[in-house]
Structure 1
């Protein structure tokens, strides 16, 4: 599981109540699973936690004992992770020492009475106990691994109805890049009542109808925090800004140019000139020597949460396409970003449409009939979406009428290939883009009857892709079809890297080389592999992953357009995605074009974004070094400009609890008269 997966697991977890308590797990307001927590008189807690969304989910049973102060003193967890890997973790605190063992690591550390151990994959029952324990501490805090302090703070109080009684919204900080939010009963027990998140919730059984009310109040509290961060970190760019003597990337041409002077005012680029050519005194000047100026990066497969904005901007991602989210939350968040209320990238939305089945993902709109799906296309067209995304449970016979209608309305069509359909069939039925490299490879490895709504869409590729002959006529014909129709490919290679190459206990390759910059608890989480791979199976999956890289390279060389997306880990994940393109054999200059100009073109924004030229919006990224020679230089962003404001990535990273990668550039400001 990636660090992003840990964040979501913790946000969606937490519960403890005296005796026994039952909770419903909800996905898009539909019952998706359950949590049962039983507490014995000796302080031992037993949990049973399971849910399914998008055809997958965890199954976990735990047993842990609480000390008199509520601190967990031992733990045993057994089950299966979301991707099917075995969960086997345990710890004990004895004689002021914690000792632990998991499928990823083992170790020991000093542990006082208020020590709290954070498991790699715990259920709601465990984290609810932690919340109650923290709130009972004099300062609302307790130590965990790495000298980190977990802190609990009550942000708001609410009595949604007389029967429920008073509740409190608690934020837990100190362990992650963003707070973890919990609703607890506002009494001495502080027993968990609910966890709310757009499109997801855990709530006491019988209280499911209260989730929207609780979520709205939580969002208000989160918005207030994010507004304060923007007020503190945004640097207004009034008047004229000059970036002097800077190397810059000509995205349409895929060439480095300069050094030049780049002039900016009113949120747009005014001129790109020879150094010193204009004798104008700007309000501020930035020394660009030794640095590279690029158009802001595009993540074309981001599922945006409000807390992700800092991470995107810190990584130089000034624009995203979101192809699947809670529609109301995405529109709300997009509006707040556009108004300058919170930090976040420019948002281009692609409307998610799924068919109803036992394996349905529950983002966006789930359609029972073709008419429902056609109505969904109309709804997205009327709400400012740039395209639609079709998903696994769409019936194959629906694809052509849906793509025909979307094209008539000017919407771009991308998505997964529906179950029991091949990528070639989806392209011939009207797809303009294929999402995920595994969906492309399934065209060559799927067997009759394979159900890609299940984990088989990963497992079949992992086992069989290694044997695919990329020089075969079948592969060449399909790539020729993609080139002829200019079908876009969004590979999201980083999504599959750990899945196909990581052994338990090894560092996640996506973030392993920057582990020292991440919060301490993330660093341990990086050693948890999403699948159980070892021996011959690990070798097979690694060879298959090499074929995915090679297929991406071959499509690019043939003239098939690529866009860069991640499907996770805002900011830093895109840097790894681009490094994988270089590793696959795509020249770095062309990779930079994929990450800038190609994204703008696909969403229809290339008339104002995606390049450095007069009249274009000043969405810009200044990095130390030359990413055309070392793609990893993208991580060393020193300044990000988003229209009429600038951010120092170092300050954004520090606000998230990360160690920065580069210092802010020297900025000379002309004194006000």
Structure 2
């Protein structure tokens, strides 16, 4: 269920109104979309006079957009009209329109029709165009004052010149386009300012004929993003070479599910050195943080991540200090783990799973794709030798190979989780050796599908409508749950992603982000007011609504039967972890239990609870500070004022503006100790504290 690695590049586009003549492009351009070394789509652009026709088609992991665009260019070389028609990533209809005159811009998209007065150059951010438009966007910004333009329907978009890059002995200019989404789009322009490539650490969108350059482009993307996020780490990471006392906080105990009386928590050298009475006398030269009676609790977990350099710091800002990566590029992930561990970039602790997929026309291009049982077993051995914690099986795996895969994994000390492969069900895969099932739709579809139906396609989403009337007391359902209880099978629901996919509606904030949508950058706001699942009728909408209600009932049933739930999101914003937990509470699971699942539970599952998961003397300094009481209201999780990971301090209010996110709460007051007194005869010593407020 993981989303495309080209999230912003493939979803964002720009429709422009303004100045700057277009360069003389070739009449026909074609670009390849490459993911994990394989071509998964194309962008085809044909120009006749002022008319541009674009075809955009991507199919990765059994899904992707299929779009036709028609553009009319004005005398300035920029669009005076733009129409976009086709299917979005999960099959929803797209019909988008843009029109401008000398003084007015009109557009209609999934949110309806709107108009705006155009003064000078205005920039319209579309919802559904191809990556080709990013070149058009960049050329306008190159001519703009300070390389910044006001955007429609809101916000600003900015272009940063990153410098020259040589690919295949040809020099290009690298740029970062920011303001559309949480992370910038990285692009290369040629000497005529035409788009050559859109960069991503897992692949690229590149001019056709240059597919062999994709490894170099992916390497360049990694270097450029690493440089950006290393700079952000230097800006936002606060390391204190002294004990730090967080005074006047109530510590959440995940075992009892309660907050304690006000205390002071002291940490030094990355470890918690004490939980002391509020009136305990501080030692000399401590740093002091005023907790103001707030809640201190262990860091949160996302047990279903596909982490990137971009999302790593967003996880920290959201209080997520550990993730389980459920499938990634096998060269990129170890390098990212090294960068985080060394302090080069900010990010959570990462527990890696080895992604194992079977070969089919619907294969996901992550991890290792095996075309035989022998190759699958080789992959298990490869992951085991490199310290991966678990094997994750995906949709196109041959179910007949799973018993051998699980046997080999267990023999080498790994457990097995994953999707339910096509043409089987959860009962069979648990019997074949699964230790865990991921995604609640993967679990539930076995109760409503015919075994011959193909879940390698978007059917694994759309068929969820059938669960709306499912009887959870039926023998078929109870047999699966009994099997899970007997085998100690855990479950990673990713309910927030099901909610996003099934309950998003055009023009209305998705319930997955409704509480904080106004804090998000404008491009993400618009996408979160757009339907994702195809909804052709009111019956479809009612079916998805009923399915989400059934998801919540299933969560409560699993919890009541003692099945371990592992909160995960399959998302990259960090903030979605908060909503995942809220869904559990809405399902009727007590909030203290939910907070235990988010903190101590994952560490118990992974065998590291002696070091992490709760706040106690001697444990790793890994916790978050909230002004209020999350045991009463889980929406308090949005208002994290401080995050401490391995003893390094971060303030979300500093991080979020760098990503176009409006902060939720101010940072606490921190007073640093005075500099170390000089040696006798070298100058006056200082006993007073020098105060610095972040």
Q: Deviation string for 1:458-498 (max 9, x for gaps)?
A: 11122x10121112233223212212221111111110113
Q: Is the 8 A contact 2:90 2:534 kept in 1?
A: no
C-alpha displacement at 1:146, in angstroms? 4.7
Map of 2:182 onto structure 1? 177
- Structure 1 residue 138, shift from structure 2 partner: 5.7
3-state DSSP of counterpart to 2:63: coil
2:243 equivalent to 1:240: yes
Give 3-state SS (helix, strand or coil) of 1:235's partner.
Answer: coil
Quote how far apart the aligned CAs of 1:273 are.
Answer: 3.0
Structure 1 position 538 matched with structure 2 position 541:
yes
**Cross-structure match for 1:7:** 8
Tell me what 1:335 maps to: 338
1:161 matched residue in structure 2:
168
Please say if 1:90 is aligned against 2:97.
yes
Shift of residue 237, structure 1, vs aligned partner: 2.7
CA distance in 2, matches of 1:152, 1:94: 25
- Tell me, what secondary structure is at the counterpart of 2:331? helix
Distance 2:290 2:160 in 1: 42
List runs of 5+ in structure 2 lacking aligned partners: 16-21, 678-694
Asked if the contact 2:13/2:128 (under 8 Å) is kept, the reply is no
Q: Which residue is 1:482 aligned to? A: 484
Residues 77 and 264 of structure 1, relative CA distance in 2, 3 Å threshold:
same
**How many angstroms apart in 1 are the aligned matches of 2:306 and 2:158?**
28
- For the residue of structure 2 that corresponds to 1:54, the secondary structure is coil
Q: Within the alignment, does 1:24 sit opposite 2:27 as a pair?
A: no
SS of structure 1 residue aligned to 2:549: helix
| 2:682 corresponding residue in structure 1 | none
User: Which 4+ residue blocks in structure 1 deviate beyond 6 angstroms?
Assistant: 1-5, 11-16
Query: Which of 273, 278, 282 is equivalent to 1:275?
Result: 278
Asked if structure 1 preserves the Cα contact closer than 8 Å seen for 2:358 and 2:370, the reply is: yes
- Out of 56, 60, 64, the residue aligned to residue 67 of structure 2 is 60
Distance 1:455 1:485 in 2: 30
The partner residue of 1:557 within 549, 556, 560 is 560
Q: Is the 8 A contact 1:245 1:289 kept in 2?
A: yes
Match of residue 374 from structure 2: 371
In structure 2, the residue matched to 1:111 is: 118
Which residue is equivalent to 2:226? 223
Match of 1:225, SS state, is helix
Relative to structure 2, which stretch is displaced further, 491-500 or 633-642? 491-500
Structure 2: how far apart are the matches of 1:303 and 1:3? 10
| Alpha-carbon distance between aligned partners in 2 of 1:112 and 1:443, rounded to the nearest angstrom | 56
CA contact (8 A) 2:233 2:344 kept: yes
1:137 to partner: Cα distance: 4.1
TM-score, normalisation: structure 1:
0.95
Residue aligned with 2:55, SS:
strand
Q: Decide which of 579, 584, 590 is 1:581's aligned counterpart.
A: 584
Query: Number of aligned pairs?
Result: 667
Helix, strand or coil: the match of 1:562? coil
> Aligned equivalents of 1:590 and 1:597: distance in 2?
10
Alignment equivalent of 1:100, drawn from 98, 102, 107? 107
User: Once structures 1 and 2 are overlaid, which stretch shifts more, 449-458 or 125-134?
Assistant: 125-134
* CA distance in 2 between partners of 1:95 and 1:69 (Å): 12
Report the equivalent of 2:42.
34
Question: 1:148 Cα deviation (Å)?
Answer: 2.9
SS in structure 2 at match of 1:262: strand
> What is the deviation of 1:596?
0.9
Report deviation, 1:178: 1.9
Query: Hey, what does 1:504 align to over in structure 2?
Result: 506
Q: Deviations over 1:574-617 (max 9, x none)?
A: 01000000000001100001011121122332221111112211
Task: Tell me the equivalent position of 1:634.
Answer: 637
> Which of 658, 662, 673 in structure 2 is aligned with 1:659?
662
3-state secondary structure, aligned to 1:127:
helix
Structure 1 residues 325 and 89 mapped into 2: Cα distance closer, same or farther (>3 Å)?
A: same
Deviations 1:615-656 (Å, cap 9, x if unpaired)?
Answer: 211111101101010011111101000113100011111221
Structure 2 counterparts to residues 165-564 of structure 1, below 5 A? 165-185=170-190, 187=191, 189-277=192-280, 280-281=283-284, 283-462=286-465, 464-533=466-535, 534-564=537-567
Deviation of 1:5 after TM superposition, in Å, equals 8.0
Higher mean Cα deviation, 317-326 or 134-143? 134-143
CA distance in 1 between partners of 2:7 and 2:73 (Å): 23
* Secondary structure of 2:599's aligned partner: helix
Q: TM-score, normalised by structure 2?
A: 0.92
- Displacement of 1:2 in angstroms is 9.7
Cα deviation 1:173-225 (Å, max 9, x = unaligned)? 2333221111111x2x3111112212232111111111222222232222222
Shift of 1:524: 2.2
Q: 1: distance between equivalents of 2:41 and 2:154?
A: 35
- Cα 1:102–1:668, aligned 2, differ >3 Å: closer, same or farther? same
Query: Structure 1: how far apart are the matches of 2:539 and 2:577?
Result: 30
Distance change >3 Å, CA 279–CA 235, structure 1 → 2:
closer
Query: C-alpha distance in 2, partners of 1:656/1:309?
Result: 12
Q: Which of 650, 653, 661 in structure 1 is aligned with 2:653? A: 650
- Of 122, 130, 141 in structure 1, the residue corresponding to residue 148 of structure 2 is 141
- Deviations, residues 55-100 of structure 1 (Å, cap 9, x unaligned): 1111001011233433322110000011000010001011321111
CA deviation map 1:489-527 (0-9, x unaligned):
111111011322232221111112211111123222221
Q: Distance in 2 between matches of 1:429 and 1:91?
A: 53
Matched residues in 1 for 2:120 and 2:283: separation? Answer: 65
Cα distance per residue 1:98-155 (max 9 Å; x no partner): 1111133221112234222111111123222222332344643333115533222321
Which SS does the other structure have where 2:383 is aligned?
A: helix
Structure 1 position 52, deviation (Å):
0.7
Give the secondary-structure state (helix, strand or coil) at the position aligned to 1:217. helix
